[in-house]
Each structure stands twice: as structure tokens, then as C-alpha cells.
Amino acid sequence: EEAAVPEIFTETPAAAPAPSLTHDEQENILIYERLNRAVVNISTEVMTWNWFFESVPQEGGSGSGAIIDKEGYILTNKHVVEKAYKVYVTIADGTTFEGKVVGVDYENDLAVVKIEPGDRDLTVIEFGDSSALRVGQKVLSAMKEPLPPVSSRVWDAPWSLLPRTST
């Protein structure tokens, strides 16, 4: 004799209604979908010394960056590529390129890395104009997770600091 299956396991649950999105949420989603492919993962190798004073490559730092030019220029933080012997850039489709640090701004913790994308059509995040930015305005940040599974995040937050000027 077959056991009866409780009714709660045989009913097909009703589909959950799609959540209504605010205008702000819709805008964030559109920006993410349009620009997510411009956020990259950066990993590095650094040189260290073993007990015999021989140089040995070792895994270095990792972080994210943003493609800022179709020619393969990427903006990241200086501390991500600091002391790097080799720089690797992984783009949204999973392709990894060896990159080269071509510029560093020590005071602002910024660096520019260059890759050779060949004939790839890179998605670019354009620079905005922050001259009219006010404390409390919403800004979006993007990040690519450095460890598998590689994923992207975007979040918004109010801008909380303006550059100081000396008089």
C-alpha cells in the first residue's frame, strides 16, 4: 500500500509576484547591466626572497579596476599593484591578460594598468564630472570579487567628503 503524500508537498506553489522596483533601483540595475563588463579583476605576483637569498615569485595582491579606454587602460588602486612583478587582468568574459603598470599617483592611491586587448570591443566606464558634487549625493561603486566564483557587485552610498582646499 502506497503512503499518502501530504497535500503541502503536492500543491504547486503560486509564483511569487515580481517585486516592484523604485525608479532609483531601476536606474541602478540599468547602469549595472550597461557597465558591469567594464569592471575587471586584477591579481599580481611579487618577488620575494627564499632562505638562500634567491628571488622567488609569489602571489601578490588582488583587487578590482575599471576599463577607462578602448585601448586597454584600466584604473585601479596603487596598493593593488604595489611591488608587482607581474600584473594579470581578467575581463568579464573570463579572458586574462598580462598587464603593465603605466602610471601611479601615490598621493591618491591610484594606478593605471595597460593591457593589449587586440580587436576586442571593450566596455568603458567614462569619467564623470565631480566639480558640482555635493555631500549627500548618491554615488555608485563597483567591484569585481577577486576569488572564485568571480562576481561583480555594485552599491550606492551618499558621498560623504569633498576635497579640502587650503586658503
* Grouped pLDDT means (10 residues each) for the chain, 167 residues: 50 60 85 86 89 84 91 95 93 93 94 96 86 79 57 57 55
Provide the pLDDT for residue 15. Answer: 56
Distance CA 39, CA 74 (A): 9
3-state SS assignment for residue 88: strand
Provide the pLDDT for residue 81. Answer: 94
Provide the pLDDT for residue 8. Answer: 45
Provide the pLDDT for residue 9. Answer: 44
| Residues 97, 91 contacting (CB under 8 angstroms) | yes
The verdict on whether omega for the bond into residue 149 sits within 30 degrees of 0, i.e. cis, is yes
Give the residue carrying C-alpha cell 593593488. 80
Residue 165 CA: distances (Å) to CA of 33, 128, 162: 37, 21, 9
Provide the pLDDT for residue 90. Answer: 93
pTM for this prediction:
0.73
